[in-house]
Amino acid sequence: MKRTGPTNEHMQQLIQELKKESNSQKTKIWKRIAKDLEKPTRKRRIVNISKINREAKENETIIVPGKVLGSGALNHSITIAAFSFSESAKKLVEQAKGKCITINELLKTNPKGKDVRIIG
């Protein structure tokens, strides 16, 4: 059976942009994120807010190559970039004075991928 990769057009465009940015900026983080996003949906990362709360520090930038779910509590403000968020996860992050952004937005604001940590 031949592996075809993600069929979602937005996901395919994001993976291409990440690979292009990785080559032009000579940064490995974007290539790593692209590789994680190419995995089948059932193998992609799904992270709860409780895990992010345990592992992240105040005002840190976190990237999740997958989906963020709203189970748990967040008691410090952080910036989370992910492919998608559940509604409850967005509410919890906003209540903690944090920000939910897409991976694409993070790529535009931080092309070098400096001070970004992968969780998942």
User: In this predicted structure, what is the pLDDT of residue 59?
Assistant: 92
Q: Is residue 1 part of a domain?
A: no
Q: What is the pLDDT of residue 43?
A: 86
Q: Find out whether 27 and 21 touch, Cβ atoms under 8 Å.
A: yes
- Digit-coded pLDDT (tens) for 95-120: 999 999 999 999 999 999 999 999 98
- When the pLDDT of each residue in the chain is averaged and rounded to a whole number, the result is 91
In this model, does residue 1 exceed pLDDT 70?
no
Radius of gyration of the chain (CA): 14
Gap between the Cα atoms of 12 and 31, Å rounded: 14
- Number of structural domains (the chain) is 1
Q: How many CB atoms lie within 10 A of CB 36?
A: 20
What does the pLDDT read at residue 10?
87
56 belongs to a structural domain: yes
Say what the pLDDT of residue 46 is: 93
Sign of CA dihedral 51, 53, 57, 60: positive
66 in a structural domain:
yes
Q: CB-based contacts of 18: which residues, under 8 Å, 6+ apart?
A: 30, 31, 33, 34, 37, 103, 107
Residue 4 lies in a domain: no
102 lies in a domain? yes
Residue 3, domain member (yes or no): no
CATH of the domain at 103: 3.100.10.10
> Range of 102's domain?
9-118
In 3D space, the residue among 73, 81, 1, 78 whose CA is nearest the CA of residue 36 turns out to be 81
Q: Please indicate, yes or no, if residue 27 is contained in any of the structural domains.
A: yes
**Is 19 inside a domain boundary?**
yes
User: What confidence tens digit (pLDDT) does each residue in 55-87 have?
Assistant: 999 999 999 999 999 999 999 999 999 999 999
